[in-house]
Structure 1
């Protein structure tokens, strides 16, 4: 007898061997729509990043299409690395990957000041630096307790809601239709249909866009096969000073990767082991970033979108994100698939993203419950971390007078929050240990 809809995903039926939820293998008719749901939830980020780079670099349509192809292929390859894990590259968790939004802005800044070839060299240097520092990660992992992780994840969710909100504007309320359809699907449906609530919300929003005559986005290119270009800006040029902003970003992303890896481990029912898994997560980011540097893209980072989907749907199999990776690779190589994915109305994708990011913020609050927030010191750490993480979102010009490296570090909410939480938590821990030692001696 097949297990009922009430059987938790990944739970083995009576009389069979237990299977880890992250290792659950799903039948193809169920696997493909779940994988498509992950793709649709994150597709707006790589597409918008490519358009941002193309507009900033004034690329012609053909090179824009090649960059979009390369970015989608890298996103798919990164998802496969993270899902399967090869030679300690990838955490074997249901992760997706996408180009970093802040990294894209830094890439453009370097390209404008020093040329696109230098910007590509900066991506390669940032990825190499990340690979170089990972062996030391085990010595610093103790500085990321639940207080740091919870606050960082909460800031990730809030910041990403801020990123998705402008995308959700316009479209005669299409974002609200998508949010409402996703919410109703999650509340009213059961079993597999409930697990597909985000995909159903996007489908309803897209149908509403078609009925209201909303213009779908267009992507240049008319060929069937789209192939990435190697060294599209010429041979990369290496300039350490010019690359400094992206190198700082790469180091700061390590704290974000820590929070996401712990969060995803818990979402799939695995006991978090940051010292083992975070280097594997970051190593896959670095390898994908090396590929981006060769193909004209910017630094690649592990995506937070799919963690919210895992939590929302209860489907925790890494084979789902692996299948999503295959879809992205195929979509990147086949031009009609690229244009189809990119044509989704921005308000629809933005509405789905709002739901997913709100779930991530709620997961950060759940992590904070493990910290002793009744303690005044812990409460102060959380308050100051939220201040550091939200100021760049609420007052983006505040850090404009600072030097470039400081603006890079503090002017982006997630790195600023992670740095603040880590430093304050470590300092308060040392002070607390000193007071306890003095009290014991007395």
Structure 2
């Protein structure tokens, strides 16, 4: 294999990770920007800087050193948990208060990382396996909504959307079944490209965003003005950050399982610190809080490629996409149904990874069965019936509005109750 061929393969694998997470990364600034009334210029900045900071956050997490970085093939993006709180803070206080609270929450994460990492005994396989399974299950509706055309779309569930989504999935499955080597490893990328080509015959590929996007977009410290600091927003965003740490913990253990690496408290401490640093840097340039992206875990499981070099390449690509919006806009031309079809495969593999982790525990014990059953049920229930806790105080919505959070906390609490002795005196 020539060095040039090897570089092309590495770039293709990195691009595959970018495409896997790009839609999820872009949708957060779009939702927030529209909800708080940003101008088109401000929204353009928000999207570009968010993509760039996804790359910076990813590189920080992959780069393992004495202070930070878990050193696993993990991709970071803006957390969906923060969307509601950010909108509420911006509308109730100001957008400057949003970024003041993000900055302080990031600093708090860095400071509590050594303490939070000592809670590893609260995350035995029965908890981490359950959390990873919940992440995959509760994200599956996102994939199907995209496949159908996007929630609220006028053509939701239209035959052409279903055709594109399931055709993309079928292409991926055929490649995984019959292709070997490198082509097998980039099955997701091939599926997305094939689905997009098919969509072009239906006139569903829009190149207008590429023409309208600028060539260069530099980050600016405190673009929206000097940050403001208020107690309630700070507490809210700190809670968002802690919730994200719980979700990330499950992803760390899932990747540890996939890469055959045992995760200990020191690894978690460096991982949490990297997330805290990413949140601080995001706050400085008016981006968002960051957390691990589960779809990329599914991608690693599917491709079998676990090299950190590939994630570094993906991180650098994201930085370039953020600095050069015209390039980044090209990925926006990919229709939602195509992304949805690919997500079914990726989120499905996250579920499989969780089930694999659960296979190592003793399910003959009724306590373990109950932990898995009730936690998965809680996560799925909140996802399917999102308004069930709507009458509770709005301050609790950070926890109660997310199936991942509710299911994960249920698993942690139930394990602490049923396996109290093993937590106090770990083997």
- In the superposition, the TM-score normalised over structure 2's length comes to 0.91
- CA deviations 1:386-419 (Å, max 9, x no partner) are 1221222011111111123332223211121221
- CA deviations 1:282-334 (Å, max 9, x no partner) are 22211111122122222111111211111111111010010011111111111
- CA deviations 1:354-402 (Å, max 9, x no partner) are 2101100111011111111121111111111112212220111111111
Cα separation, 2, equivalents of 1:377 and 1:174: 44
TM-fit CA distance, 1:205: 0.5
Q: Is 1:380 matched with 2:370?
A: yes
TM-fit CA distance, 1:430: 2.3
Per the alignment, residue 316 of structure 1 pairs with: 306
Cα separation, 1, equivalents of 2:309 and 2:241: 28
Q: Is 1:198 matched with 2:177?
A: no
Equivalent position to 2:297, from 289, 307, 311: 307
Q: Is 1:34 matched with 2:25?
A: no
Verify the 8 A CA contact 1:217 1:345 in the aligned structure 2.
no
Structure 1 residue runs of 5 or longer lacking an equivalent are 3-25, 435-442
Structure 2 residue runs of 5 or longer lacking an equivalent are 150-159
TM-fit CA distance, 1:46: 1.3
Equivalent position to 1:416, from 385, 403, 406: 406
Cα separation, 1, equivalents of 2:246 and 2:309: 26
Equivalent position to 1:57, from 36, 39, 51: 36
Give the secondary structure class of the aligned counterpart of 1:82.
helix
Cα separation, 2, equivalents of 1:41 and 1:409: 26
- Could you say if the C-alpha distance between residues 279 and 432 of structure 1 is closer, same or farther in structure 2, counting changes exceeding 3 Å? closer
Give the secondary structure class of the aligned counterpart of 2:201.
helix
Per the alignment, residue 369 of structure 1 pairs with: 359
Q: Is 1:115 matched with 2:106?
A: no
Structure 2 matches for 1:88-237, cutoff 5 A?
88-170=67-149, 171-172=160-161, 173-216=163-206, 218-219=208-209, 221-237=212-228
TM-fit CA distance, 1:242: 2.3
Equivalent position to 2:57, from 73, 78, 81: 78
Q: Is 1:342 matched with 2:321?
A: no
Cα separation, 1, equivalents of 2:259 and 2:273: 21
Cα separation, 2, equivalents of 1:386 and 1:408: 19
Give the secondary structure class of the aligned counterpart of 2:206.
coil
TM-fit CA distance, 1:215: 4.2
Cα separation, 1, equivalents of 2:207 and 2:127: 40
- Could you say if the C-alpha distance between residues 433 and 423 of structure 1 is closer, same or farther in structure 2, counting changes exceeding 3 Å? closer
Give the secondary structure class of the aligned counterpart of 1:311.
helix
Give the secondary structure class of the aligned counterpart of 1:98.
strand
Per the alignment, residue 282 of structure 1 pairs with: 272
Equivalent position to 1:327, from 317, 321, 337: 317
Per the alignment, residue 249 of structure 1 pairs with: 240
Instruction: Give the number of equivalent residue pairs.
Output: 410
Cα separation, 1, equivalents of 2:35 and 2:423: 51
- Largest Rg, 1 or 2: 1
Q: Is 1:396 matched with 2:375?
A: no
Out of 226-235 and 307-316, give the one that drifted further. 226-235
Cα separation, 1, equivalents of 2:316 and 2:344: 25
Per the alignment, residue 46 of structure 1 pairs with: 25
Give the secondary structure class of the aligned counterpart of 1:415.
helix
- Could you say if the C-alpha distance between residues 113 and 208 of structure 1 is closer, same or farther in structure 2, counting changes exceeding 3 Å? same
TM-fit CA distance, 1:155: 0.5
Verify the 8 A CA contact 1:388 1:417 in the aligned structure 2.
yes
- Could you say if the C-alpha distance between residues 218 and 50 of structure 1 is closer, same or farther in structure 2, counting changes exceeding 3 Å? farther
Cα separation, 1, equivalents of 2:422 and 2:93: 47
Cα separation, 2, equivalents of 1:218 and 1:351: 23
- In the superposition, the TM-score normalised over structure 1's length comes to 0.88
Give the secondary structure class of the aligned counterpart of 2:77.
strand
Cα separation, 2, equivalents of 1:216 and 1:97: 27
Over 3 Å off, 4+ runs:
217-222, 431-434
Per the alignment, residue 154 of structure 2 pairs with: none
Per the alignment, residue 261 of structure 1 pairs with: 252
TM-fit CA distance, 1:431: 6.5
Give the secondary structure class of the aligned counterpart of 1:407.
helix
Give the secondary structure class of the aligned counterpart of 2:222.
coil
Verify the 8 A CA contact 2:245 2:291 in the aligned structure 1.
no
